[in-house]
Amino acid sequence: MKIKILLPIISDIFNEEVVIEAQQFVSPDTEITVQNLDKGTASIESVYDEMLGSPDIVAKVIQAEKDGFDGVFVDCFGDPGVEAAREMVSIPVVGGFQPAALLTTMLGGYWSVISVLPSVVPMIRNLARKLGIDGNVASIRHINTPVLELTDKKMLQDKLLEQLIIAHRDDGAEAIVLGCTGMMGLAKNLESAAAKQGIPMQVIDPTGAALGFLEMQVRNKISHSKITYAVPSEKERKV
């Protein structure tokens, strides 16, 4: 199957790493294509950033369906533009939050998110509430680091481990979701580091969960409900 990964920022600096990561999670017959936005922001850390990128995200999801893609992963933990895109297309569309939240809800009954900045905590809380799984969230933590500074993998892992330990000890977390798709390639290392501290913690990478949900939907020939995401009616639209 053909999966489009839409990395919804205006730069391609993460693209290469994303493809390498993504290919580890999919079945051999799945083909990955990465694309960025023409209009949007350098990173997404606010509702404002999500809003600015969404029109181009939706346009590119619509184009992906026309181009014959079987599904689209909007590669950001905040699920920007995903609801609007689902209204406009029939192929499966997922962001980073919903798949990770739902997979983790099965793996461990009570889990924490570790994300980037304080500003995204209310955004993630809203995503959890809308999905109706907020009762499973032990805490939403952050490492107080902007997305564009996640490139120092060593520092990143140290900060994540610090928050993982607090989430386990103080919040009762039984699994961890990495709350930014920019935290790539770290889940297994983080599990090992936690295990060395005596904590057998599963760490869920949102990219893997998102691709898993897309493959599942394509093989099940199932997509989002057109009652929940009804096709918008015809009307004058000036953009």
* Residues numbered 64-103 forming contacts with a second copy, rule: CB under 8 A: 81, 83-84, 87-88, 94, 98-99, 102-103
Q: Which of residues 131-190 bind a second copy (CB under 8 A)?
A: 131-136, 146, 148, 168, 172, 174-175, 187-188
List all residues 6 or more positions away from 198 whose beta carbon is below 8 Å from its beta carbon.
none
Of residues 76, 105, 142, 190, which one binds a second copy by CB under 8 A?
105
Q: Does 13 bind a second copy (CB under 8 A)?
A: no
Torsion over CA of 205, 43, 74 and 32, rounded to 10 degrees? -70
Of residues 106, 154, 196, 198, which one binds a second copy by CB under 8 A?
106
Of residues 51, 157, 165, 185, which one binds a second copy by CB under 8 A?
51
Nearer Cβ to a second copy, position 51 or 165? 51
Q: Does 225 bind a second copy (CB under 8 A)?
A: yes
**Residue span binding a second copy (CB under 8 A) among the ranges 66-74, 150-158, 159-167, 222-230:** 222-230
Q: How many other CB atoms are there within 10 angstroms of residue 153's CB atom?
A: 13
The conformation of residue 76, written as its DSSP 8-state character, comes to S
**Residue span binding a second copy (CB under 8 A) among the ranges 64-72, 119-127, 154-162, 177-185:** 119-127
Q: Does 59 bind a second copy (CB under 8 A)?
A: no
Binding track over 19-38 against a second copy, x by CB under 8 A? -----xxxxxx--------x
In the complex, the smallest distance separating the C-beta of residue 45 from a second copy, rounded to whole angstroms, is 6
Nearer Cβ to a second copy, position 43 or 163? 43
Nearer Cβ to a second copy, position 34 or 187? 187
134 burial class (0-12, 13-18, 19+ CB within 10 angstroms)? middle
Per the DSSP assignment, residues forming a β-bridge with 182 are none
How far apart (Å, rounded) are the C-alpha atoms in residues 153 and 176? 18
**Residue span binding a second copy (CB under 8 A) among the ranges 13-21, 66-74, 156-164, 208-216:** 208-216
Nearer Cβ to a second copy, position 46 or 157? 46
Nearer Cβ to a second copy, position 146 or 158? 146
Torsion over CA of 92, 97, 99 and 103, rounded to 10 degrees? -170
Residue 166 φ then ψ, to 5° = -65, -40
List all residues 6 or more positions away from 197 whose beta carbon is below 8 Å from its beta carbon.
161, 165
Given a contact cutoff of 8 angstroms between Cβ atoms, the answer to whether 173 and 200 are in contact is: no
72 three-state secondary structure: strand
